[in-house]
Homo-oligomer: A and B are copies of this chain.
């Protein structure tokens, strides 16, 4: 069936049985393909039926759809002519795991971060109105993304502007149960209507073959699904649902009716993450984002990485200090906080995809004598820029930011690379910034931050690096670790860049190699010494050059009248697309070879 689909018109010709068959084939294709390339699995399987139904009803040659986050757009990509490129998914120069306007005329917004789809779609809808055109605009948003403040801002403005637009709430229950708890607390007085009861029966029938675990999850979930209409209607958006996101007939019929409604509509669709692949429905978090895997075996989670070391060390620290609390924004697994959450549930807070709230909440805790560790990926912490600056740094609070996935993350591409955090943090007064180079350094860094009296950001990369030999012995404010004393040339490498710099140790015995753990404040004493002896200086960082580590070094050296050129290695005012991290370092010339070349040139002029 799938092979016969050449365009959207072909899909429209199919009847419901054929659509069901098509959807099954797409799910099989996604499973097969992602098992080889890696990618987002459970979220994509969950919306395949819905996507097929959308193609039956809408025409994306004129209609627009914006996928919130975008990690549920694979079926859409397959049905808009990109099936044959799926073997290049998330690879260097291949197709992206997220919608990309530069990849296809059917992609309307480059997403990757959460909760902005309603806002962006509203931009499309309003410009359509201003232009006196007629077509449909759809925002497809998960219940997780719906917890983000911007989604409410968008919804509220949508109700106010009262234009025709469809918001599809793709509710797979994961986030509502774990985060949007507030929505689930006031259920006692709810009147259950017939439609809802029918739906419940329908779900039970559908899932009768499932394990008790799954069934219970669905049952609990059902309790939640009637409540949100009150909320959404308060915003002035017509609420329709909930409907079963795996019943294509019902989806098509409902979507056809909605097409005739003027004004904003929210359609609440219940889906199952991982639908069609049992491992993924049983373990939706495990199968959220995956590397290549064997379809017939359960994935074993790799826990040997910076995230899990950080999470473990934070648990250890907590065992001696009950003032420590950990806060994350819907990424408990990702940031390695499972152990902490299990051991200290009352001190653990997953606030949903709410980075802004996470940071202001932490500020309140810190002012009331607690020690909040805020664990968020570098790229998502961007959302809390203002709260870090105003609520935390301005009040000089001892909030500790555990910035995971700092530097390149690889296959997720430009929306996810953590290459801006130094630039958005270095100019904040009162903050200290440190970067452990290896998992052995983490403990000292956490301890240091706990005992500080001001904001501390600890940034560390995706992946794993161990170095017992060069691990920090102590960590003092603004002190670097001299790995190898040298003459005339010094390499200042921060965080992960140590992995490149350390290669010099065998080849260049006369080069000073410095592990610049402290990014702010810098080690002024060491810089004074290097400057006074006219060392040539090279800085390395996994971040934008503008506003980054090398820029700080340059500012200081300029201030003290150092006259030599400084070689600053980092990203040159550019976004970095997808690919393996090693491939991207090559592309950006952040390599040992380049470093060596620079050194040899410098040696010639000394």
Contacts and interface: CB of A to CB of B under 8 A. Distances in A.
B357 A150 contact: yes
Contacts of A356: 116, 119, 149-150, 153, 383
A121 to B, nearest CB: 6
Given A153-B351, A236-B184, A546 B390 contact: no
Interface in A358-372: 360-370, 372
B153 A357 contact: yes
Contacts of A361: 119-120, 122-123, 126, 154, 157
A60 to B, nearest CB: 15
A127 interface: yes
Contact of A563 (B156, B346, B389, B563): B563
A546 B124 CA distance: 37
A242 interface: no
Interface string A157-200: 11111100000000000000001111111100000000000000
Question: What is the interface residue range for chain A against chain B?
Answer: 35 or more
B367 A108 contact: yes
Interface stretch (A48-56, A87-95, A497-505, A551-559): A551-559
Interface stretch (A205-213, A247-255, A421-429, A477-485): A421-429
A606 interface: no
A185 B156 contact: no
Nearest to A426: B546
Contacts of A233: 186, 230
Nearest to A395: B110
Contact of A383 (B386, B424, B426): B386
A131 to B, nearest CB: 8
A401 interface: no
Contacts of A112: 390
Interface string A531-548: 000000000000011111
B429 A574 contact: yes
Q: Which of A372, A390, A424 has the most CB of B within 10 A?
A: A390
Contact of A101 (B150, B369, B395, B561): B395
Interface string A96-119: 000001000000111011011001
Contacts of A555: 545-546, 551, 554, 568
A510 to B, nearest CB: 24
Counting from the closest, the 8 A-B pairs by CB-CB distance are A123-B364, A149-B149, A159-B182, A160-B181, A185-B236, A119-B360, A153-B357, A182-B236
Interface of A: 66, 101, 108-110, 112-113, 115-116, 119-124, 126-128, 130-131, 147-162, 179-186, 227-228, 230-231, 233-237, 322, 325, 346-347, 349, 351-352, 354, 356-357, 360-370, 372, 382-383, 385-387, 389-391, 394-395, 414-415, 420, 423-424, 426-427, 429, 544-548, 551-552, 554-555, 558-559, 561, 563-566, 568, 573-575
